[in-house]
Chains A and B, each alone.
Chain A
Amino acid sequence: MIIEIEKLQLYYGEFQALKNVDLSIPERSVTAFIGPSGCGKSTLLRTLNRMNDSIPGVRIEGTVSIQGRDIYASDTEVEFLRKRVGMVFQQPNPFPKSIYDNVAYGPRLHGRTKKAELDELVEKSLRSASLWEEVKDVLKKSAWSLSGGQQQRLCIARALAVEPDILLMDESTSALDPISTTKIEELTRELCKQYTIVMVTHNMHQAARISDRTVFFLNGEVVEAADTQTLFSSPVDQRTEDYISGRFG
C-alpha cells in the first residue's frame, strides 16, 4: 500500500469536509474517487499533495502516509512531496511558454539544467503522455496553440517530467471532448503500469471503465471502497447501490 490514510478529519473553518476517512491505495493501479458534488472527493485528493495548505482556515487531524512517511509531519518538505506526487487539474493549465519549456519547467525547478539531459527527459515525458508524435516538430511553439486535449496531455507530460511515483488527476477529462477523453483514458491505463494513479471523476462510467479500485464518498465519508468490479456489480452499502443505479447524485 503506497498511500495509507488513517482517521483523517479535515475542516474548512467550522465545516467538516472529511469525516474519519480510513483508506489504503495500492501501488501501480488506478483508484477512482466517485460521489456527488461536495462529497469531499476532491478535497481528499488535494490532501495527498497538500494543495489544501494554501486555503485559509484548513485544519487536518489524523495521518496521511505515503511510502510509509507521514506527509503532514513537521519535517516534511512540501516541495519534495509534490515532486513525488504529481497532479493534473480539471482545466488544462499549461504555462504561457513553449511546449518544451512547459515540460522542462519541473525538472529545472529541481535543479536539472543540462541541455542534453533535459532534451531526453522532455522527449521521454512527451512519449509517455503519447503527445510526442504530434508535437515533436513544434516544440518551440507556444503551449497555448495546442488543442484542449493536447494541452491536457501536455500537463500530464509536465507532471511526469519530475518523475513522480503517484499521479493525482482531478476530473482531468471533464473539460474535454469525447475523443480527447478516450485518449486520456487509454493513457491512464498505460501509465498505471509505472505509476500509482488516483483520480477524481464525476463520471461513474469512466470509473467503471478504467479504474482498478473505486471509492464512493458521501458527505465527507468513505461509504465503500472496493475493487471496481465488485463495487459496481455487488455493492455492500445501500447508499452505494442507490448512487450507482442513478437514484440520486
Chain B
Amino acid sequence: MNIPTSNVQSSAESGAKPRERKQRHVAEEIRGKIYVYFCVLLMIVTIFSIVYFIASRGLAPFVSQGVALKDMLLGLKWKPEGEPPLFGALPFLFGSFATSLFAAIIAAPLAFCASIYMTEIMPKFGKTVLQPAIELLAGIPSVVYGFVGLSVIVPFLRDTFPGQGVGVLAGALVLSIMILPTITTIATDSLRSLPNGLKEGSYALGATRWQTISRIILPTTLPSLLTGVVLGIARAFGEALAVQMVIGNAPHIPHSLFESATTLTSIITLEMGNTTSGSLHNNALWSLALILLMMTFLFVFVVRMLERRVKR
C-alpha cells in the first residue's frame, strides 16, 4: 500500500492539527480497507474451497478408482452398483442440454417480446404491472413450478401427444417458464439503456415503430439479449427439483420429446442420499457435479465474451 507521507501544506504550516486530521483519515482509510479486503478474501476462499472439494471428490474415480473419463462422457449405461459398475453419463448430459436449450428456444422469443412491450409499446403499464409480475415469477420456489408442471403440463401432454406426458418436453416447458424472468429482466434492462437518440433518429427519418424496433433496437441490443439467453440456459442447466418432477427420470437417451429422460442434476439429487461417502458411486456423482461446475464456468465465459462485444 502506498500512503503518501509528505504533505507540503502541513509541513509548511507545521501545525499539529493538520497532522492529527491526516492521521485520523489514514486510520479510517485502513479500517475501510481491512473490512473490504476481509469480505473479498472470504468470498475467494469460499469459492476456492467449493471448487477444490468438488474437484478432489469428482476426480477420484478417474485418478485412483479406475474409471476412464471417456467412458463417463460417452458411455450410455449408468449402473454404479452393477458388476462391473458402469458410469456412462451421456444420457444425463444429453438430457440436461436438451431440456435447457429447448427451454431457451421457447423462452427467448417470449422474453424478447415481453421486454419490447414493456419498454417500447406500453412503458407505463410495463413498469407498474408487468415488471413486478415478472419479478414475482422469479421468486416462486422451484418445487411449485415442478408441482404445477406435474399437475397441469404433464396431464395435458399425456392427453394430447403419445407417451406418458413426462419427458423432455415437459421438463423444457417447466424450465422455460422458470427462466423467462431471467431473460426478460436482462433484455428489458438492455432495451432501456439504449440511447434515446438512436430511436429518435430512426423516427425522424420516417420509420414506423416496428421498423425502428426491428432495424435499430433489436440489432443494437443483440449481444445483451444473448447474454440474457445464456444466463437463462445456465439457470436451466443447474435447476434440479422442478425438472426432476416432470422428466420421468429414465437413464437413457430419448428418441422423442415425449419420452422420459433425466438430467445431471436429477441423478445427483436422486442418488446422493443412497451412497456412502468415499465410495466409488458417491465419487462418481461428484464427477457429475464437477461437470456441472465446468459447464457453469463455460456459460460465465460466454457471457463475458458477449459483454466484451457490447462494449466495442
A residues sitting closer than 8 Å to B (CB atoms) are 49, 51, 54, 56, 79-83, 86-87, 89, 91, 93-97, 105-106, 109-110, 155, 158-159, 162
Contacts and interface: CB of A to CB of B under 8 A. Distances in A.
B216 interface: yes
A54 B205 contact: no
B203 interface: yes
B191 to A, nearest CB: 15
29 contacts: A51-B203, A51-B204, A54-B203, A56-B124, A79-B207, A80-B206, A82-B203, A82-B204, A82-B206, A83-B205, A83-B206, A86-B205, A89-B201, A91-B197, A93-B195, A93-B201, A94-B201, A96-B220, A97-B219, A105-B202, A105-B205, A105-B215, A109-B205, A110-B206, A155-B201, A158-B205, A159-B205, A162-B205, A162-B206
A79 B211 CA distance: 11
Given A95-B216, A96-B220, A106 B198 contact: no
A217 to B, nearest CB: 22
B38 to A, nearest CB: 42
Nearest to B220: A96
A159 B200 CA distance: 12
A94 B208 CA distance: 18
A89 B203 CA distance: 12
Nearest to A87: B204
A109 B220 contact: no
A106 B219 CA distance: 16
Interface of B: 124, 195, 197-198, 200-208, 211, 215-216, 219-220
B91 to A, nearest CB: 44
B206 A95 contact: no
Given A93-B195, A95-B216, A79 B200 contact: no
Contacts of B220: 95-96
B195 A79 contact: no
**Chain B binding surface, main DSSP class:** helix
Nearest to B197: A93
Given A93-B195, A93-B197, A95-B198, A49 B204 contact: yes
Contact of A79 (B124, B198, B201, B206): B206
A101 to B, nearest CB: 10
Given A109-B206, A109-B211, 14 more contacts: A49-B204, A51-B200, A54-B203, A56-B124, A81-B206, A82-B203, A83-B205, A93-B195, A93-B197, A94-B201, A95-B201, A95-B202, A159-B205, A162-B206
Nearest to A144: B312
Given A93-B197, A95-B198, A96-B220, A159 B203 contact: no
A82 B156 CA distance: 51
Contacts of B216: 95
Contacts of A51: 200, 203-204
A19 to B, nearest CB: 26
A86 B204 CA distance: 6
Contacts of B215: 105, 109
Contacts of A105: 202, 205, 215
B206 A89 contact: no
Contacts of B124: 56
A51 B202 CA distance: 11
